[in-house]
Structure formats: structure tokens, C-alpha cells
Amino acid sequence: MKLKICGMKYPDNILETGALLPDYMGFIFWEKSARYFDGTIPELIHTIRKTGVFVDETVDNVLSTADKYHLQAVQLHGKETVEFCRELRAKIDAKIDVTIEIIKTFSIDESFDFEVLAPFEKVCDYFLFDTKGKLPGGNGTTFDWKILENYKSEKPIFLSGGIGIEEIPAIKNLKVPIYAIDVNSKFETEPGLKNTTLLRKFQKNLKPATLNPKQLYNEL
């Protein structure tokens, strides 16, 4: 199971967090966020996929930001449509020098209808399930994961929304194909500043040996 640490902001803290070798690191390119990123990303080991998080941006702005920061993944965290994702996918695929993953977020509450995902299957690489809240993201609350029983797709997901150390036992019992866990505010001392001691503890507790078989395929 992979780990994405989202909402990075400060260069020294980015380096310190990078030393934990997460699989993804997220940078928020939504100006209204307390974690809005407009700095310089320090050099990170290439195995960490730098991920830009966007909320209802234009395709061209997503692409130019991806170019500027050499992003390996873009996370669409607003109400982006299937057509938007298709156009973005086509423009990314036309690039010969880079591959950029598309992660499409869906904000989940008790009435979420998983049928809406079907047309997105072919135009994005992963779904990310976050908790529906006041803000598009970073609300710090979990959703009721029981609703994931309605997820019938084989597409691996990023599980997100208020995840902290206490959630690990429940994560290990989930029967959905989890590709990555996305963490953010539960590991902060202030918005954008991550507590690496706590993150290390989380990583250690999320070890693959204790995952269920459906989750383990991601480790092969």
C-alpha cells in the first residue's frame, strides 16, 4: 500500500518529509487553501511522485503548472467533468517526454452514488475518495467507510479524508482495492507543516505484512 503525503508547503519540511520516502507528495495549487503552494520544490528523490492538487482549474493551467514543477501526477479535486479529464488525458498522452498520472477526487457522503464513476474509468488512472466537507479538501474528517461496500470497480483507489494513526486497524480491514493512503491535516503542527515523527510512526504501522489479500496485490 502506497503513501501520499499531501499539503506540503515549506522547503525544509518538504526535505525532511521526503527523507521518509513516501510514494507521493502533494502540493496544493488552489489559492484559497491555507496550504497553497507557490514556492520552489526542493530536489527530491525521483521515486517520490510530485503531485499537483487542483480545484476546477483550466486544462492549460494544470498542464503549465505540471511543466513548471515537473509534476508526475495531477489530482483533480473539484467538479472536473469526464470531458475535462479526457482532454487533459489526450494532452498528457501527446507529450513524448513525460508521463503524468491523473487522480480524480470524489467527495463522499452517505448519499454518494458510485455509478457516477463509470465514465471516468478510462480517462483517469486512479480515483481518490475524500470526505465531503465545507472545503474541497483538507477538512480533517473521515467519511463512513461502510459506503465503500458499494464500490464495485477494480480500479485501485487512494483513500483519503481525516486519516491518522487511529484509522490504521480499520484500513487493514477494508475489502476495496486500496492503492494508496492519502494523509494530510492529522499530521500537521500548522497547515502545511508536517510532523515527521508522527508520519514515521504511521508508515511503520501500515506495513504490508498485515494487509488483507485484496490490498496486498499492490505490493507485488
Binding site for ligand LARABZUK (CB under 6 A): 6-7, 26, 28, 30, 33, 35, 53, 55, 77, 130, 135-140, 160-163, 182-186
d(CA 80, CA 135): 16
Sign of CA dihedral 88, 81, 150, 165: positive
- Least CB distance from residue 129 to ligand LARABZUK, whole Å? 10
Q: How far is the CB of 72 from ligand LARABZUK (least distance, A)?
A: 15
Single out the residue of 73, 36, 66 nearest to residue 179, CA to CA.
Answer: 73
Residue nearer to ligand LARABZUK on the CB measure, 18 or 162: 162
C-alpha grid cell, residue 107: 467527495
Which residue lies nearer to ligand LARABZUK by CB, 93 or 130? 130
Smallest gap from Cβ 95 to ligand LARABZUK, in A, equals: 24
Cβ atoms within 10 A of the Cβ of 10, count? 16
Closest CB to ligand LARABZUK among residues 29, 151: 29
Q: How far is the CB of 94 from ligand LARABZUK (least distance, A)?
A: 27
Q: Are 26 and 75 in contact (CB under 8 A)?
A: yes
The three three-digit cell numbers of residue 187, written as one number = 499530521
CA dist., res. 21 & res. 26, Å (int): 13
Nearer to ligand LARABZUK by C-beta: 22 or 44?
22
Query: Smallest gap, in angstroms, from Cβ of residue 191 to ligand LARABZUK?
Result: 7
Maximum C-alpha span of the chain: 43
